């Protein structure tokens, strides 16, 4: 079958005049219809609540990611300034012993600083994950409670 033979016409039939997939509307009588309507209404409410929860989660995530990114930028700036200070001190050294002493001190300071910075970034990452997931957990629990 060619591509042109597969085109759909405006009235909902293909070029062969055969109807496309369509499902008849079924009217459910009495109690069954009422239950279906109630189920549909509950599903709509749950969907709306979960949409709100996801909106809150995205908002929290955006704020947290911004805070995290700014902190990484601040840390990078501080590390670059520290490295520049170290090189200035190296240029002022008068002996190999001074260079060795400065290098040892710089390595120790850099290690301690990196450990502190990693702990801080880890804590920010955990906070970001917690704050992002909290709205979803809260709304999900609410929806489950209402369904029960």
Q: What confidence tens digit (pLDDT) does each residue in 55-99 have?
A: 888 888 899 999 999 999 999 999 999 999 999 999 999 999 999
Q: Tell me the residue ranges of DSSP E strands in the chain.
A: none
**Residue pLDDT, tens place only, 100-140:** 999 999 999 999 999 999 999 999 999 999 988 888 888 77
SS3 122: helix
> What is the pLDDT at residue 26?
55
């Amino acid at each position: 079958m060619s591509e042109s033979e597969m085109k759909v016409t405006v009235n909902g039939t293909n070029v062969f005049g055969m109807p496309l997939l369509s499902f008849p509307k079924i009217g459910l009588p009495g109690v069954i219809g009422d239950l279906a309507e109630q189920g549909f209404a509950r599903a709509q409410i749950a969907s709306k609540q979960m949409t709100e929860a996801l909106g809150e989660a995205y908002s929290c995530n955006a704020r947290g990611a911004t805070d995290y990114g700014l902190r990484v930028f601040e840390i990078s700036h501080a590390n670059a300034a520290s490295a520049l200070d170290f090189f200035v001190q190296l240029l002022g050294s008068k002996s190999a012993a001074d260079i060795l002493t400065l290098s040892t001190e710089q390595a120790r300071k850099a290690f301690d600083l990196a450990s502190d910075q990693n702990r801080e970034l880890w804590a920010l990452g955990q906070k970001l994950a917690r704050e992002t997931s909290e709205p979803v957990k809260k709304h999900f629990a609410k929806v489950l409670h209402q369904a029960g």
